[in-house]
Amino acid sequence: MKNVAIVTGGARGIGLAITKRLIESNYIVIVSDILEGLVDTEKIENSDCHYFKCDITKKNDIIQLFNFVKATFDKIDLLVNNAGIIKDNMIWNMPEEDFDKVIDVNLKGTWLMCKQAAIMMKAQNFGRIVNISSRAWLGNKGQSNYSASKAGVIGLTRVLALELGKYNICVNAVAPGLINTPLTQNLKPDVLESLINAQPTNNIGQPEDVANAVMFLGSEITKFITGQVIYVDGGKSISSNMF
Ligand code: NDP
């Protein structure tokens, strides 16, 4: 049987690129998202692509998703925790609920998904989990909620690598930098330009660049790589000093 993967937040942006990349590589993909169906203009017409509406902050949605996967495919080879949100503000202007919401989706939602995946993968003695963090975990002004959530995702990744390693389950993270998605297309043009100029590679990454790293970490060949972070950020994480 083909490999089976779940991609959260897979309806658009980076998640959609990951879904397409996995389908090309012969995976069956269950796209889970709070959006209704695949919203990108290039919808995936493929019988190996299944859509399951699931809000990762709701434990019952997640349990139903895993029940569906178990009943339909009886296995899960790869979980990609991609769903994430931003609600930026300097801390003195950030409403407490914007801190809670970002932590709830980006960190707790990822934890809830990992928990169900770990139970199923441990029982089958195999699995791969790839968590989408962000270069911003290193620190970005205006992102005290987001950076904390993405730093938490890296801590979670490292702990799960320790806990699940002996069950042939590898858990790794991808930390994208500036990527061309609906999330960044909403930035003001001058802000976007200054961000691009601050990249060592002087460009913006594409969702497919992230998808390629996920494909590598999610595959069976990475059996001796776990608890690691791959940056897909045009070198931005090396240093903030461009001179
Ligand atoms: P998008 O906003 O384009 O896509 C994220 C998807 O996740 C959306 O479809 C969104 O639905 C969905 N989603 C949001 N909340 C939930 C939830 N509670 N349950 C299920 N799905 C949810 O983001 P990107 O593609 O740009 O980002 C994908 C990931 O990559 C995120 O984790 C992000 O933090 C990370 N990242 C992105 C970078 C970038 O430059 N774009 C840089 C670094 C990291 P809806 O639109 O309805 O909210």
Residues in the ligand 1 pocket, defined by CB under 6 Å: 8-9, 11-15, 33-35, 55-57, 82-85, 105, 109, 132, 134, 176, 178-179, 181-184
Range of weakest confidence among 71-75, 207-211, 236-240: 236-240
The region, left, alpha or beta by phi > 0 then psi within -120 to 50, assigned to residue 112 is: alpha
Over residues 22-35, the pLDDT tens digits come to 999 999 999 999 98
51 Cβ partners below 8 Å, 6+ apart?
Answer: 11, 30, 31, 32, 33, 37, 38
CA-nearest residue, atom 31 of ligand 1: 84
Q: How many CA atoms lie within 13 A of 15 on its CB side?
A: 32
Whether 146 is catalytic is: yes
Over residues 166-185, the pLDDT tens digits come to 999 999 999 999 999 987 88
pLDDT of 112 strictly over 90:
yes
Interval 127-139 mean pLDDT: 98
124 Cβ partners below 8 Å, 6+ apart?
Answer: 75, 76
Q: Where are the alpha helices (DSSP H) in 7-94?
A: 13-24, 59-73
Handedness of CA 39, 41, 47, 49 (dihedral sign): negative
pLDDT of 241 strictly over 70:
no
Determine the residue of 60, 101, 138, 179 to mutate for testing ligand 1's pocket, defined as the one with the most ligand atoms within 8 A of the Cβ atom. 179
In the reported structure, the alpha carbon of residue 183 is separated from the centroid of ligand 1 by a whole-number distance in angstroms of 7
Q: Which helix (H) or strand (E) holds 184?
A: helix 182-185
In the reported structure, the alpha carbon of residue 166 is separated from the centroid of ligand 1 by a whole-number distance in angstroms of 31
Determine the residue of 16, 41, 52, 82 to mutate for testing ligand 1's pocket, defined as the one with the most ligand atoms within 8 A of the Cβ atom. 82
pLDDT of 117 strictly over 70:
yes
Q: Which domains does the chain have, with CATH numbers?
A: 4-238 (3.40.50.720)
pLDDT over 70 for what percent of the chain?
A: 97
CA-nearest residue, atom 2 of ligand 1: 183
Atom of ligand 1 nearest to the CA of 176: 43
In the reported structure, the alpha carbon of residue 241 is separated from the centroid of ligand 1 by a whole-number distance in angstroms of 28
Say how far apart CA 54 and CA 11 lie, in whole Å.
Answer: 11
Q: Is 186 exposed, middle or buried (0-12, 13-18, 19+ CB in 10 A)?
A: exposed
C-alpha distances in Å from residue 102, one per residue of 83, 106, 113, 131, 152? 11, 6, 16, 16, 12
Atom of ligand 1 nearest to the CA of 104: 18
pLDDT of 213 strictly over 70:
yes
In the reported structure, the alpha carbon of residue 81 is separated from the centroid of ligand 1 by a whole-number distance in angstroms of 10
CA-nearest residue, atom 27 of ligand 1: 14
Check 51, 146, 167, 231 and give the catalytic one. Answer: 146
Over residues 46-57, the pLDDT tens digits come to 789 999 999 999
Range of weakest confidence among 82-91, 98-107, 163-172, 175-184: 175-184
